[in-house]
Structure 1
Amino acid sequence: MVCLLFLVAPLSVFGESQSWGFKRSVNGEQPNAGPELDELLKKYDSAYKGKSDKKVIYMTFDNGYENGHTEKILDVLKEEKVPATFFLTGHYLTSAGPLVERMVKDGHKIGNHSWGHPNFSTLTKDQMLEEWSKVKDKTEELTGQKEMLYTRPPEGVFNEETLKVAKEAGYKHVFWSVAFVDWHADKPRGADYAYDEIMKQIHPGAVVLLHTVSKDNADALQRVIQDLKKDGYEFKDLDHLFENQA
């Protein structure tokens, strides 16, 4: 399961299908998705970054299938006392139940990445609601987590209707401001590569997206967290992000 990263935001976001995109962070400055996208996300209580004057980072992970690295990621997060949100699909919920249970037990949140990973811009309202409800129900069955506030669209594909339906259903879309091509599990590039890709994009208010299928990410994560702490960054959960929107 992949989430696409585009460097430049599309010019029009109303009505038609869009792939999430932004101009990447440079020299610690926040990335920019453009005023049109910024206003659209604000309208539907959605976000991709926090405040620019606070050295806070929000860790998020997308889990489409288990590749043997999530346990190490959870170990690091626990040791470093870093909260995270894991956006899960139906496949992950039905195939990696013990890890899902551990996520909640360790104090992390489960987010909704849809049941079958479809293109949401092609779905009816009822189909969208079914995708979300199946994830929410299975998560509650496995973990007891009743509340599910955050969703992330498969492959970052969305339009105004998907944002609108999500808001009506009680969801906030969470996009991202730091990401790189890390979902090709069969093409490892090493922990240093993952570390460098993350660190060169970091900025105040960063919403970091990582895929747990990547051994590179698992191997780089502790060094990333420790070095960012040394640089004065704090790690908060998504509740903090939305409680502190400008």
Structure 2
Amino acid sequence: MALRNQTLLGVYATFLIASVPVNIALAAETADCQKPLYLTFDTGHMEIAPLVADVLKRKKVLVTFFAANEKTKTGDGSLGAAWAPWWHARAAEGHAFASHTMDHTYWRADAGAPNAPQFHVRSSSGPQAGKDLTLSAEQYCTEIRRASDRLREVTGKAPLPLFRAPGGKTSPRLLAVAKSCGYAHVGWSPAGFLGDELPSEKFSNAALLKKALDNIRGGDILLAHLGIWSRKDPWAPTVLEPLIDGLKQRGFCFRTLNDHPDYRDWLAGKR
């Protein structure tokens, strides 16, 4: 048993030593960053997730993933058991994570009295997918928290106390309710909408790449997805890799939302 333990310790030590240069390189790359960008990914059908992960690893780019348990092309949902190893590997690389609501639940309208808020919603995943529902404030908070809790399980890492509403659809009342249960909302910058959910027949990858490189500015939050059902010509890795290269050549660097000035104080207060 002692020999076995020594062997395991040796393997673990070797792993740690091998990991250090990558972590040091990432730290050095962002330490003197003057033009930060915050690349974020929402879940989707996950078909391109391995390709995205490969590009991010090779380019030494850290991002923030917003996850819901969405329908996937393979496996049992984007936060299901089949994809758990993928999420765990991303955590080991240093990426950050936050909720996208468990069932990818779209806000449609406010309801109820101001002192007893409710929300008309429709989920695109889960047992109530496609149904019009009305959630209480507590139920909406549970919907955010369920995805966050599941992320903690599959990554082994505490998610950020942030969330992104599907489609970015919110109301002041919904945002206030979410903050009351511990979650600040994250949208995206106008130029940060990378267009991967637009139809490729009208918006080619080349056009999306050019638009992004022309318009993105320091401090922008960028939005992409891990697979869009309606796009026939996948955005990643075709656009992702030249986009990262082009932005780095323009002096930009990449950070997770841990460092975003709009959320830094909120996150510090939750630690």
Question: Same fold per TM (> 0.5)?
Answer: yes
Structure whose alpha-carbon radius of gyration is higher? 2
Given candidates 179, 184, 190, the residue that maps to 1:172 is 184
Query: Secondary structure of the residue that 1:219 maps to in structure 2?
Result: coil
Q: Distance in 1 between matches of 2:167 and 2:58?
A: 30
Q: Confirm or deny: 8 A CA contact 1:90 1:134 kept in the other structure.
A: no
- Offset of residue 186 of structure 1: 7.8
- Offset of residue 189 of structure 1: 5.6
Report the CA distance shift for 1:107/1:231 in structure 2 as closer, same or farther (over 3 A): same
Report the CA distance shift for 1:232/1:106 in structure 2 as closer, same or farther (over 3 A): same
Given candidates 79, 91, 96, the residue that maps to 1:93 is 79
For 1:150, the equivalent position in structure 2 comes to 162
Report the CA distance shift for 1:158/1:189 in structure 2 as closer, same or farther (over 3 A): closer
Looking at secondary structure, tell me which structure has more strand per residue. Answer: 2
Q: Distance in 2 between matches of 1:124 and 1:106?
A: 37
Misfit runs of 4+, over 3 Å: 184-191
- Offset of residue 180 of structure 1: 4.3
Q: Distance in 1 between matches of 2:142 and 2:89?
A: 25
Report the CA distance shift for 1:131/1:218 in structure 2 as closer, same or farther (over 3 A): same
Q: Confirm or deny: 8 A CA contact 1:194 1:217 kept in the other structure.
A: no
TM-score of the two chains, using structure 1 as the length reference: 0.70
Identity of aligned residues (%): 28
Pairs aligned (count): 191
RMSD: 2.3
How does 1:1-246 map onto structure 2 within 5 Å?
54-66=34-46, 68-91=47-70, 92-94=78-80, 96-120=83-107, 121-122=119-120, 123-177=135-189, 178-183=192-197, 190-213=204-227, 215-241=234-260, 242-243=263-264
Structure 1 counterpart of 2:62, one-letter code: P
Report the CA distance shift for 1:187/1:93 in structure 2 as closer, same or farther (over 3 A): farther
- Offset of residue 125 of structure 1: 0.8
Q: Distance in 2 between matches of 1:146 and 1:161?
A: 27
